């Protein structure tokens, strides 16, 4: 490069360097979480005050509510997002690029957190391992927040003899719990595990775009604060789907929801771009698609679905925000808008989002089972076909959420068919897990026990999902507690418990410690039992006819709700124990070797803690990742198949 | 040195520039997929509301404005639909900028650094002109933001154009500046190439908007669903 004035040794090569401006890192040395908070809060206050001064008195919104609270709150939210991102240094990279002041290798090493110790977790750090740990902590905070709200909801529903919360606060608990948990579940595998593990798993030194990686995490942080802030200005009172026209009449807290989704969708988009490009272009030499671990397939599939589907959700909220602030009428039938437009845009993400959550969780299971059964994976091709099938069908099922809305009844049955069809590729994934277990000798540890729990939950969630996908059944079940129980079995029972299996499995690589098996198992199984009590009973309440999102109900449903509430507190207790196991193990746990499970995939071949550059010399892959106990993998697989055929007499 | 390392190396990772370019190209395609989805969301919204004409509220009321709200963008005249030619004029401006960018990229690839700088500079100036033109169009629409579904859909399409123009301006300033400093040159030209690709997609996005606002103006639904007044069927 023409402006090069010096060279640096980068992985053994002398590489020309651009001019170094000051110390490595430049202005990024001064920017961190504290400057981000100062920037965010400062700009939020200034924007709020100025907007309040500029808003004419008496201005009203489209629903004739006073406009000032909406305008001021929106200004505060924008100020917070822009100010925080500026304060933590998110704009430094693009501005340096625009000015032509490229990073040197020393700059990049500083930004990756080299020699920064614990401080690197509070900066705009680009190292994928740091971002993975940041995501892990953030995920636990978001899920903990959502879980706390769930406890409050169950408290209200369990105390059938009194009203604990006001109806509007109860509604905002429901809505905020819903969207917090959805966000938490979307990132629970794609954040910590995909960011930390996938680059090492494919033999790369980092993600394709390290700054985008940091950007995606800190956008998530500012989005989460937007959501929490909404609780103080009326909350999200219309469920996580915030259907129109309810959303138009909602208090200003709705703007917090809308800003959360707009920012979170952007965060997810850039994370998806980064993961997909990393997987497509940075796999190690020899890592053909048939030698690529299934977690990588799962993460790629999830990123792809998020990439095409999230913008629809994002734009549904942009249009909704425009209706509220600029008096446009996308969703206002009085002026030519349509609430069905909102519902379509919303569910165009809303249903692929289920697979965005479940596919990476299922992929984690397929990584765990061969390791603990010391057997090759049962049909790698079936697993890939299952993932591809889910991705292909994921965009064709959204309207099964709208059977009863009156939108295009003629398409109900095609959507019923597509929804039932998608259970086939999902079934492939379960089949691969069970097929791998078949006649194996298991090394029973926490991760593999979690797999059993997930299979159990997924069966119940999947079968009840088939019921609900049938139009005639849905006529009776929609809007009932049965639906709530069903999607909790899928999202929490399969998604979250799968992610817990993943956390237990990858914990030694991520933290350098072994997760306390005894305390972790107690927590896990307590949560599992509580889960069955809570949602099993909720199925009963749903079948009895209890509607969801309703504060007061008939005495007929009391018993089911008491049992559900006891179960919910049991889940809470179990999760607290599991969290305690994570924290205590992270701080004082047994030091892990580099490969405590004896896994064959690449991420376990690196030292623990993983060095900054992951690999001093990039690896070359020569075999499939699941060839356990097989001296000559290909011949042995053929022999095994021949042997099985002989036994059945063919 | 192997043959692979004889080409320029990326300063931060020491990888060949071709590797970085390949990565950046994949990133661009995925970003385009994301932007296509977002643009489609707007196009679907436009066509959906156009086809339904709910409550007969698709067209702006013009002089018959009866529902006076606090319009963020107030109505300017009695006319209803927006003039079509400005959409095409703005599309023409973007196409011109794209041609200039492609010229700059091709010249840079051939080793003509001055051509690269001129091409990107002209593309930048045209883009800024487009941004101004887009702003003028928005501020002179005959309708306001509260004047029905058509007005809403058109305004958001134009807002999307403004967003794209803003991004283009930022990126073109960067590409122009980097070309000027020699950071984009004959050997390292992938950023100019990607910019050209991106601008082609932007032209397509603008074209989709112009097609909608030209050919899907008056709603075909002359017997629209009416919500808000319920009468007993006899």
Per-residue pLDDT, B72: 53
Name the residue range of residue B174's domain. 85-218
On whether residue B33 sits in a domain, the answer given is no
Residues A232 and A273 in one domain: yes
On whether residue B119 sits in a domain, the answer given is yes
Distance, CA of A537 to CA of A152 (rounded, Å): 18
Given a cut of 90, whether residue B2 has pLDDT beyond it is no
Q: How confident is the model at residue A639 (pLDDT cuts 50, 70, 90)?
A: low
Is the minimum CB–CB distance between B215 and chain A shorter than 8 Å? Answer: no
Q: What is the CATH number of the domain that holds A555?
A: 1.20.210.10
Q: How confident is the model at residue B77 (pLDDT cuts 50, 70, 90)?
A: low
In chain A, the number of structural domains is 2
Is the minimum CB–CB distance between A188 and chain B shorter than 8 Å? Answer: no
Residue A103: its chain B contacts at CB < 8 A?
A: 11-12
Nearest CA distance, B104 vs chain A (angstrom): 18
Q: Which residue has the tokens 């965005």?
A: A356
Distance, CA of A147 to CA of A140 (rounded, Å): 10
On whether residue B166 sits in a domain, the answer given is yes
Closest CA to A89 of A217, A243, A238: A217
Closest chain A CA to residue B191: A97
Interval A500-550: pLDDT, tens: 999 999 999 999 999 999 999 999 999 999 999 999 999 999 999 999 988
Could you tell me the sign of the dihedral formed by the alpha carbons of B38, B40, B46, B51, in that order? Answer: negative
Question: A250 with A238: CB under 8 angstroms?
Answer: yes
Residues A239 and A104 in one domain: no
On whether residue A15 sits in a domain, the answer given is no
Given a cut of 70, whether residue A650 has pLDDT beyond it is no
Interval A598-607: pLDDT, tens: 999 999 999 9
On whether residue B142 sits in a domain, the answer given is yes
Identify the DSSP state of A548: T
Distance, CA of B94 to CA of B98 (rounded, Å): 6
On whether residue B76 sits in a domain, the answer given is no
Nearest CA distance, A101 vs chain B (angstrom): 9
Q: How confident is the model at residue A495 (pLDDT cuts 50, 70, 90)?
A: confident
Distance, CA of A262 to CA of A168 (rounded, Å): 24
- Higher pLDDT pick, B70 / A19: A19
Task: Inspect the interface and report whether the beta carbons of A334 and B33 lie closer than 8 Å.
Answer: no
pTM over 0.80, yes/no: yes
CA atoms within 13 A on the CB side of B133: 18
- Other CB atoms within 10 Å distance of the CB of residue A190: 29
- Other CB atoms within 10 Å distance of the CB of residue A585: 22
**Interhelix angle B113-139/B85-110, nearest 10 degrees:** 170
Identify the DSSP state of B147: S
Task: Inspect the interface and report whether the beta carbons of B27 and A103 lie closer than 8 Å.
Answer: no
With b for 16 or more beta-carbon neighbours within 10 A and e for fewer, the B32-70 pattern comes to bbbbbbbbbbbbbbbebbbebbbbbbbbbbbeebeeebb
Residues A277 and A137 in one domain: yes
Residue B185: its chain A contacts at CB < 8 A?
A: 2
On whether residue B10 sits in a domain, the answer given is no
CB within 8 Å of chain B, chain A residues 261-320: 269, 272-274, 276-277, 280-282, 307-312, 314-316, 318-319
In chain B, the number of structural domains is 1
Closest CA to A240 of A213, A217, A220, A260: A260
Distance, CA of A612 to CA of A117 (rounded, Å): 12
Distance, CA of B171 to CA of B124 (rounded, Å): 9
Kindly tell me the burial class for residue A10, based on how many C-beta atoms sit within 10 Å of its own C-beta (0-12, 13-18, 19 or more): buried
Interval B197-218: pLDDT, tens: 999 999 999 999 999 999 999 8
Given a cut of 90, whether residue A269 has pLDDT beyond it is yes
Preceding peptide of A349 cis, ω within 30°: no
Closest CA to A123 of A191, A207, A33: A33
Closest chain A CA to residue B38: A311
Is the minimum CB–CB distance between A15 and chain B shorter than 8 Å? Answer: yes
Per-residue pLDDT, A198: 97
Residues A512 and A522 in one domain: yes
| SS3 state of residue A9 | strand
On whether residue A417 sits in a domain, the answer given is yes
Task: Inspect the interface and report whether the beta carbons of B33 and A282 lie closer than 8 Å.
Answer: no
Per-residue pLDDT, B73: 55
Per-residue pLDDT, A471: 93
On whether residue A452 sits in a domain, the answer given is yes
Q: What is the CATH number of the domain that holds B161?
A: 1.20.120.80
Interval A20-53: pLDDT, tens: 888 999 999 999 999 999 999 999 999 999 999 9
Interval A430-456: pLDDT, tens: 999 999 999 888 999 999 998 999 999
Nearest CA distance, A341 vs chain B (angstrom): 7
The residues, ordered by sequence, that sit 6+ positions from A133 with a Cβ below 8 Å of its Cβ are A121, A192, A196, A510
> Beta-strand (E) ranges in B15-169?
none
On whether residue B103 sits in a domain, the answer given is yes
**CA B149 vs CA A337, B45, B80, B144: distances in Å:** 6, 10, 12, 11
On whether residue A622 sits in a domain, the answer given is no
Per-residue pLDDT, A255: 96
Interval A562-602: pLDDT, tens: 999 999 999 999 999 999 999 999 999 999 999 999 999 99
On whether residue A88 sits in a domain, the answer given is yes
Residues A93 and A180 in one domain: no
On whether residue B56 sits in a domain, the answer given is no
Is the minimum CB–CB distance between B157 and chain A shorter than 8 Å? Answer: no
Preceding peptide of A434 cis, ω within 30°: no
Given a cut of 50, whether residue B67 has pLDDT beyond it is no
CA atoms within 13 A on the CB side of A264: 26
Interval B175-203: pLDDT, tens: 999 999 999 999 999 999 999 999 999 99
Name the residue range of residue A192's domain. 126-605
Distance, CA of A510 to CA of A503 (rounded, Å): 9
Q: Which residue has the tokens 């410690």?
A: A513
Residues A92 and A138 in one domain: no
CB within 8 Å of chain B, chain A residues 201-240: 205-206, 208-209
């Amino acid at each position: 490069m023409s402006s090069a004035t010096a060279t640096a040794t980068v992985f053994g090569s002398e590489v020309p360097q651009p001019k170094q401006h000051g110390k490595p890192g430049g202005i990024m040395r001064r920017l961190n979480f504290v400057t981000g908070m100062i920037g965010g809060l400062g700009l939020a206050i200034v924007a709020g005050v100025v907007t309040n001064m500029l808003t004419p008195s008496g201005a009203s919104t489209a629903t004739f509510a006073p406009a000032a609270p909406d305008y001021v709150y929106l200004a505060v939210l924008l100020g917070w997002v822009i100010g925080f991102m500026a304060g933590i240094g998110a704009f430094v990279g693009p501005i340096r690029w625009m000015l032509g002041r490229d990073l040197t290798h020393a700059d990049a090493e500083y930004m990756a957190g080299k020699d920064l110790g614990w401080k690197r977790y509070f900066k705009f750090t680009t190292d994928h391992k740091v971002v993975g740990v940041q995501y892990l902590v953030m995920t636990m905070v978001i899920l903990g927040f959502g879980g706390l709200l769930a406890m409050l909801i169950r408290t209200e529903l369990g105390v059938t003899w009194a009203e604990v919360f006001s109806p509007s606060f109860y509604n905002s608990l429901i809505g905020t719990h819903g969207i917090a948990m959805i966000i938490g579940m979307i990132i629970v595998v794609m954040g910590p595990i995909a960011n930390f593990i996938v680059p090492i798993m494919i033999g790369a030194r980092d993600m394709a775009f390290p700054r985008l990686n940091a950007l995606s995490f800190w956008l998530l942080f500012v989005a989460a604060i937007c959501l929490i802030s909404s609780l103080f200005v009326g909350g999200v009172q219309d469920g996580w789907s915030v259907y129109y026209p309810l959303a138009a009449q909602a208090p200003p807290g709705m703007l917090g929801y809308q800003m959360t989704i707009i920012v979170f969708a952007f965060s997810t988009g850039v994370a998806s771009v980064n993961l997909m490009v990393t997987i497509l272009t940075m796999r190690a030499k020899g890592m053909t698609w048939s030698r690529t671990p299934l977690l990588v397939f799962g993460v790629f599939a999830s990123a792809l679905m998020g990439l095409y589907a999230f913008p629809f959700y994002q734009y549904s909220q942009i249009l909704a925000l425009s209706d509220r602030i600029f008096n446009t009428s996308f969703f206002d039938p009085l002026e030519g808008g349509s609430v069905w437009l909102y519902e379509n845009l919303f569910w165009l993400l809303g249903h692929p989002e289920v697979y965005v959550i479940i596919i990476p969780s299922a992929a984690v299971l397929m990584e765990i089972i061969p390791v603990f059964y010391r057997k090759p994976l049962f049909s790698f091709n079936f697993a890939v076909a299952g993932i591809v099938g889910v991705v292909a069908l994921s965009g064709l099922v959204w309207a099964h959420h709208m059977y009863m809305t009156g939108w295009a009844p003629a398409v109900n049955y095609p959507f019923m068919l597509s929804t039932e069809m998608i259970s086939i590729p999902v079934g492939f994934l379960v089949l691969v897990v069970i097929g791998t277990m078949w006649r194996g000798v298991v090394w029973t540890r926490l991760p593999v026990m979690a797999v059993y729990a997930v299979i159990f939950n997924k069966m119940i969630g999947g079968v009840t999902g088939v019921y609900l996908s049938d139009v005639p059944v849905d006529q009776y079940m929609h809007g009932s507690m049965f639906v709530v129980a069903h999607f909790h079995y899928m999202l929490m029972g399969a998604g979250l418990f799968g992610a817990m299996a993943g956390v237990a499995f990858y914990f030694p690589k991520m933290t350098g410690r072994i997760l306390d098996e005894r305390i972790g198992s107690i927590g896990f199984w307590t949560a599992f039992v509580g889960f069955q009590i809570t949602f099993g009973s909720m199925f009963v309440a749903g079948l009895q006819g209890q509607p969801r999102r309703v504060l007061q109900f008939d005495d007929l449903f009391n018993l089911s709700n008491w049992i559900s509430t006891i179960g919910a507190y049991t889940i809470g207790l179990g999760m607290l124990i599991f969290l305690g196991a994570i924290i205590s193990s992270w701080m004082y746990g047994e030091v892990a070797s580099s490969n405590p499970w004896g896994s064959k995939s690449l991420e376990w071949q690196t030292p623990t803690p993983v060095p900054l550059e992951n690999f001093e010399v990039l690896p070359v892959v020569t075999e499939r990742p699941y060839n356990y106990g097989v001296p000559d993998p290909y011949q042995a697989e053929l022999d095994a198949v021949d042997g099985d055929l002989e036994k059945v007499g063919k | 040195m192997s043959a692979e390392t004889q080409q320029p190396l990326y300063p931060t990772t020491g990888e060949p520039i071709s590797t970085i370019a390949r990565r950046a190209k994949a990133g661009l395609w995925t970003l385009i997929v994301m932007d296509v989805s977002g643009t489609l969301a707007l196009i679907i919204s436009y066509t959906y509301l156009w086809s339904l004409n709910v409550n007969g509220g698709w067209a702006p009321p013009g002089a018959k404005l009866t529902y006076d709200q606090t319009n963020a963008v107030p109505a300017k005249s009695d006319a209803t639909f927006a003039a079509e030619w400005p959409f095409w004029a703005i599309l023409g401006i973007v196409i011109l900028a794209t041609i200039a960018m492609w010229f700059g990229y091709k010249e840079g690839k051939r080793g003509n650094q001055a051509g690269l700088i001129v091409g990107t500079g002209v593309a930048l100036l045209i883009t800024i002109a487009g941004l101004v033109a887009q702003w003028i169009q928005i501020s002179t629409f005959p309708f306001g933001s509260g004047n029905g579904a058509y007005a809403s859909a058109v305004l958001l399409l134009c807002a999307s154009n403004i967003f794209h123009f803003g991004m283009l301006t930022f990126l073109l300033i960067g590409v122009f500046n980097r070309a000027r400093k020699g950071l984009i040159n004959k050997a390292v030209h992938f950023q100019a190439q990607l910019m050209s690709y991106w601008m082609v997609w932007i032209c397509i996005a603008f074209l989709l908007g112009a097609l909608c606002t030209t050919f899907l103006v008056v709603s075909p639904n002359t017997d629209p669903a009416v919500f808000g007044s319920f009468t007993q069927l006899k």
